[in-house]
Structure 1
Amino acid sequence: MRFTTKSLLLSGSILAAAMAFGPGATAWAQEATFVMASNDVGAPSYDPIRGTKLNAATSLIYDRMVIQDADQSFHGQLATEWESTADGMAWTFKLRPGVTFHDGEPFNAATIVWWVPQFAGTENAFMTDAIESVEVIDDLTVKFVMKNPDPNLLSNMASIFMGIPSPKAYDAMGTDYGVTGAVGSGPFTLQSFTIGQETVLASNEAYAWASNLSENQGPPHIKTLTVREIPEDSTAFLELRTGGVDMLLSVPTDFLPQLEAEDSIAVGTLPGTGIFYIPINTTVAPFTDIKVREATALAVNQKEILDNLFGGIGSEANNFLISSLLAADVDPALNISHNPDRANELLEEAGWAMGSDGVREKDGTRLQVALWTQNGTEFKRVTEVVQAQLKAVGIGADITVFDSATINDQYRKGNEHQLAVRSYSWANADIIDWFFAGSRLGYPNVSMWNDPKAEVLNKTAMTGSRTWEERVANFKAYHEYVLSQFVFAPIYQPVQIHAYSKDNITLPETVRGTRLQSQTVVDITVN
C-alpha cells in the first residue's frame, strides 16, 4: 500500500507563539531556499524524542547539549562544561544561562530532569538507557547518575535525536508534537511544515547562545529559510542552476562536472558520515541460507560502482562503518569485497543451478528476488547497477521504487521485501545496533536479523563498556560477527557534497561540524 501525505501547518496558538518570538519578523527580505538531501525527504515529524527519521532542518529548530566538529571533537551548545567521574558512574553538566525556548519558557536544570525520562519506551531509548537519574545541583547544573558507564554519552548528546524541545509545548501537543508544531531553543522557529514538500523557518531573533563553532553569536542572518524536499536529484540540480533555490545540502557526485562548469555555483565537500548498503532479509527464502546471502554480498562490485557512478569520488565500502571509526578496523578477512567466482561456487553448493536464461533455478523455483529502493536519482542508478551485478552470478532481481516517505512502513511488514538499496548517515558505531538489533525488526532492522550471539555482543557493546577503549573493542567484536553472517552487502562510502549560488548567499570560509548544520547555517549571509 502507498500512503499519501498531506499538508499540516502549525496550529494557531503555536504559530502565534513562534511569531511572538521573532521581533525582527518584519525584515523578511533576507530570504533563502535550501534543498535537503534526497535521503532526508519524507521525514514525518520534527519530534526528536519519538522520531526515527529526522531531516537536516531539525538542527535549526533545536539546540543540543553538545555538538561535534568535523574532527569529532565536542563543543558546548546548551552545556558549557562537563566532567565524568573516574569510574564513569556520574556526569556533571553546567548549563548555559539565559537560554529560552521559542515559546518563552526558560531552559534550565528542570528542563533536563523532564527531558531525559521522555526517551523511555521510544525507539531512541538506548541513548539514555545508561542514565539512572538526573539530580539538580542548582538551576544551571545537573548530575547524571549512571546505571552503568557510557563512554559514548557525549556522542549521543550530539545527535539531532537529542535536540531538546520545550517541555510545555511537548506536553501540550502530545502525539501531535513535531507535526502540528515544534518548539526548541535553536536559531530558527518553525513556521510551517508540509510533509514531503517543505519546511518554512523564521529567524529566532532572541538567539544569543550559539556555540564556539559559529562566528555569528546572534540571530541568523537569514530571516526566512525555506527547506524544500525534492526527491529527484536532477530536479534539484536544475532548480539550483536556474535560480529556483539557493543551496543543495547534498549533491550526487555525477552532477559535479556540470556544477563546476557553472561560474555562479560554488561546491564544497565534507568527510562522509555514511554508507550505501544492501540489507538482506534473513527471514525470507532464499536468504535464510547463509550461502545465498554470502553469494549476494560477493556479487556486488564496489569498485565498478565507485568508478562508474561516482567518478571515483568517495571510497568503496567493505563493511558497515565509515572508515574514520576505530570499530571499522576489523579483521581484513571479514571485509566484504567483490568475488564473483566465489559467489558462483556458493550458489552451486546451495543447489542453485544456472538456467538457460542466466537466472539460476532450484527444485523448479527461479532465483528471482525483490530488490527495493527509494525514489531519488542516486538510489535508482545504484539499484540498477546492483541488479546487473546480481544477474551476472545468476540472481534475477525485480526493482520496485517506493516513495521515501512510505518505504519504511513497507519494511515494517517484515515479509514482503528481500533485498533493498539503502544508505545511512551516522558517525558512530552504535549504528550497528540501530540496524541489526533484534528489538527493531522490520524497521530499522530491515535485515530482520535476530541472532542470539549477536544480541549478547550487542548488549556488551552498548552497555558493557567502562572506557572508550573497551567500547571500541566491544563494537569491533560485534561488527565482525555481523560481517561473518552476511546480513547485508556494503556498497559505497560517499563524501558529503554541497553546492550553492555564489550570487545569492555566502558561506563561511570553513564549514564546521560533521555535516552542514546549525553551527554553519547561522553564519550564512544573503547577498
Structure 2
Amino acid sequence: MMPNHTAPLAMTLSHAAPVTIALPRLPLGDPHDCTDANDELTLYQTFYDTLVKRRDGAYHAQLAESWTVSEDARSWTFTIRPGVAFHDGTPCDAAAVAQSLERMAREDKGYTLGSPAVWRQYLGGAELEADGQTLTVRLTAPMADLLDVLVQGFIVAPSVFDRPDAGDTTAICGTGPYRVQSAGKDRVVATRNPDHFAPGAKNETLIFVLETDAAERARMLADGRVQVANSLDPHIGDIEGATLVRFTAPVAIIYLLNSAKGPLQDGRVRRALSLAVDREALIDTVLDGAADPLHGFVSPRHFGAGSEPVPGPDVAAARALLAEAGYADGLTLTLDCPTRLPDEAQKLTNDLGAQLFAIGVRFDVRIHKDREAYAHMVRRKEIGDLCVFDSSPMSTFRVLYEKIDSRTAGAWWQGYRNEAIEALIDQGRVTTDTQARAALYRRAYAELQGDPAWLTLYNPHRAVGLRGDHPGFRMREHGVIDVADLPDFTSDRETANG
C-alpha cells in the first residue's frame, strides 16, 4: 500500500531501469530510535536528511548550511538551508527541525537492543529556539561533540509523527534524496527526489529487496538480478561482471569486563587478560583473517583514536600480574555468550579460552539464544565476570560517556572507574577546538590501554558488491551504503546489452 503522503504514482515512475539493492535485513523502524545497523541506516539515509553529514573524518553541511558553538559548548546555532520541503510538500524550516529533535529526545525514543532513551541523555531538557531558518539549541550540559548525535538525527516531517507513534512504519516522509514509493516487509521502492538540495543521486528508481542468505545475495549480483549486494562474505572470490569493495567496519568486537564485583574488579587481572591475548591468532582462527586487531576502545576510524598497538601478547607478564593479584594458581571466570551479534561469538569464546588457558584462566560459559534478552541482561548489569559484546557508535565521546564513565553508569557500563579518564571526558565536553579535543581523546585511548575497561579484540572486515566496473567506489568510514554515492548503473547495462 502506498503511504498517503507520497506523490501520485504517475508523477514518480521513471523510464530508466530500477537499481535493485539486496539487504540481509529490511528493517523499517522508527528513524528516531538509535541504531548502528548498517541496513537500517542505509534505508534512513535514503529517505531522510540530517543537519550535518560525516565524511572523511569531518562534518559537512546538509540541512544545516552552517553552525556555530559557544565557548562553553552549551549553545549551538544552526542556519537551516532555505527552500527545503518534506516529501509531502510541507516546509522544512527551523521549527520543523526543532520538532524532530524534541521527538528524538522523548523517553520512549532512541531504544534499541536494550538501550533506552539514548538521545534523551544529550537532548533532554534542551531549550530549542526556532526563528525562521535559525535554530538555537541550548543544552543542559556542555557537549562539544553534539554533532556526533546530530549525524543520526534524522529529520522527519512533523505532519506524519502520529503514524510512527501508532506503529505505522510505512510513514516515511523526510527530505532525503529519494521518496518512498511503496514499503513492505520484503521490498521497498524509492524514486529520486528531483527537488533535493544535493543533486548527487544518479539512479532514478531504487528497489530494496530482502535476502537473508549471503551466498544467494552473491548469486543475485552475479546473474544481474541485483546491482548492489550488501554484507557479502569478505572471503568471497571475484564475481564476474561485478566490483567487490572490501572494508574494515568500525564496530568493535569486545568482551565487557565486570569491574563491579569478582576478580575483574582488580585492574591487574583485567590487564593480564589483555596482555595474554594474541589478537592476530584469534582473527586467523575465528575469522580466517577477516578482521583488523583492535588496539583500543575505539577503531582507528574514530575521532581521536591513538595509533600505538596494545601491549602483548606476553604470557609471562600476564602470569606475573595474576600472581601479584593473588591468582598464582589461576582462576575460573563466568562468561556469558550469545549465539549471534557477533555471529562468531561461540567460536570466539572457545578460541579465546584456549589462549587464556596458558595463564591459568578457565571459563564457565553460559550460552544465551535470545539476543534481545541477552542485551537486557547486560543492561541490567547481571553478567558474570565477562560477556561477548560489540561497540558500534562512531562517536568517541559517546563511547566514553555511555559505556566507560562511572558517573553516567550507562546501559553498557559494567562497574569500571578511572578518575583520569573521567577528567578527560570533562575536558572533552568543553573543548570546542577540534585538534585539542582529539588530543584529549588520544590520552584517554592510551590510559585505557594501560587500565582496560574491556577486552578489545578486533574490527571485522565487510564486503559490498556492485554490478559492473566501479574502481573508484569506496565505502564511507561508518560502513553504511550511502545511495547518493552509488554509481550510475545505466551505462553498465547499456554496455552489457550492447
TM-score (norm 2): 0.78
Task: Find the counterpart in structure 1 of residue 146 from structure 2.
Answer: 153
Q: Is the counterpart of residue 79 in structure 1 residue 64 in structure 2?
A: yes
SS across alignment from 1:142: strand
Percent identity, aligned pairs only? 18
1:162 Cα deviation (Å)?
A: 0.9
1:63 Cα deviation (Å)?
A: 0.9
1:460 Cα deviation (Å)?
A: 0.4
Aligned alpha-carbon RMSD (Å): 3.9
Cα 1:452–1:192 change in 2 (3 A) is same
C-alpha distance in structure 2 between counterparts of 1:201 and 1:392, whole Å: 51
Q: Is the counterpart of residue 202 in structure 1 residue 165 in structure 2?
A: no
Is the 1:373–1:379 Cα contact (8 Å) retained in structure 2? Answer: yes
1:99 aligns with one of 81, 84, 91: 84
1:145 Cα deviation (Å)?
A: 4.6
Q: Is the counterpart of residue 124 in structure 1 residue 110 in structure 2?
A: no
C-alpha distance in structure 2 between counterparts of 1:413 and 1:315, whole Å: 31
C-alpha distance in structure 2 between counterparts of 1:411 and 1:190, whole Å: 39
1:313 Cα deviation (Å)?
A: 5.9
Cα 1:320–1:511 change in 2 (3 A) is same
Task: Find the counterpart in structure 1 of residue 354 from structure 2.
Answer: 388
Cα 1:243–1:351 change in 2 (3 A) is farther
Cα 1:294–1:105 change in 2 (3 A) is same
Q: Where do 1:70-469 residues align within 5 Å?
A: 71-84=56-69, 90-120=75-105, 121=107, 122-128=117-123, 132-138=126-132, 140-145=133-138, 150-158=143-151, 161-174=152-165, 176=167, 179=169, 181-186=171-176, 187-189=178-180, 191-192=182-183, 194=185, 198=186, 200-209=187-196, 211=198, 214=200, 216=202, 220-228=203-211, 230=212, 237=218, 246-253=227-234, 255=235, 258-260=236-238, 262-270=239-247, 272-308=249-285, 315-325=292-302, 327-329=304-306, 335-352=310-327, 354=329, 360=330, 366-367=332-333, 369-372=335-338, 374=340, 378-393=344-359, 394-398=361-365, 400=367, 402=369, 404=371, 407-430=374-397, 431-438=399-406, 443=411, 445=412, 447-449=413-415, 451=417, 453=419, 456-457=422-423, 459-461=425-427, 463-469=429-435
C-alpha distance in structure 1 between counterparts of 2:9 and 2:224, whole Å: 31
SS across alignment from 2:22: strand
Q: How many residues matched?
A: 474
Q: Is the counterpart of residue 47 in structure 1 residue 30 in structure 2?
A: yes
User: Structure 1: where are the runs of 5+ without partners?
Assistant: 1-11, 355-359
User: Structure 2: where are the runs of 5+ without partners?
Assistant: 108-116, 494-498
Task: Find the counterpart in structure 2 of residue 5 from structure 1.
Answer: none
Cα 1:270–1:128 change in 2 (3 A) is farther
1:64 Cα deviation (Å)?
A: 0.9
1:417 Cα deviation (Å)?
A: 4.7
Q: Is the counterpart of residue 510 in structure 1 residue 473 in structure 2?
A: yes
Is the 1:387–1:397 Cα contact (8 Å) retained in structure 2? Answer: no
Q: Is the counterpart of residue 493 in structure 1 residue 459 in structure 2?
A: yes
1:277 Cα deviation (Å)?
A: 1.9
Is the 1:93–1:141 Cα contact (8 Å) retained in structure 2? Answer: yes
Per-residue displacement from partner, 1:444-467 (whole Å, max 9, x unpaired)? x1x523537378437505533232
Is the 2:189–2:208 Cα contact (8 Å) retained in structure 1? Answer: yes
1:107 Cα deviation (Å)?
A: 1.1
Cα 1:21–1:98 change in 2 (3 A) is farther
TM-score (norm 1): 0.75
C-alpha distance in structure 1 between counterparts of 2:353 and 2:26, whole Å: 25
C-alpha distance in structure 2 between counterparts of 1:222 and 1:184, whole Å: 17
Is the 1:35–1:248 Cα contact (8 Å) retained in structure 2? Answer: yes
Per-residue displacement from partner, 1:316-345 (whole Å, max 9, x unpaired)? 211112224463227x5x935322222233
SS across alignment from 2:321: helix
C-alpha distance in structure 1 between counterparts of 2:67 and 2:30, whole Å: 26
SS across alignment from 1:392: helix
SS across alignment from 2:401: helix
Is the 1:35–1:245 Cα contact (8 Å) retained in structure 2? Answer: no
Cα 1:75–1:205 change in 2 (3 A) is same
- Could you tell me which amino acid in structure 1 is paired with residue 457 of structure 2? I
1:432 Cα deviation (Å)?
A: 2.6
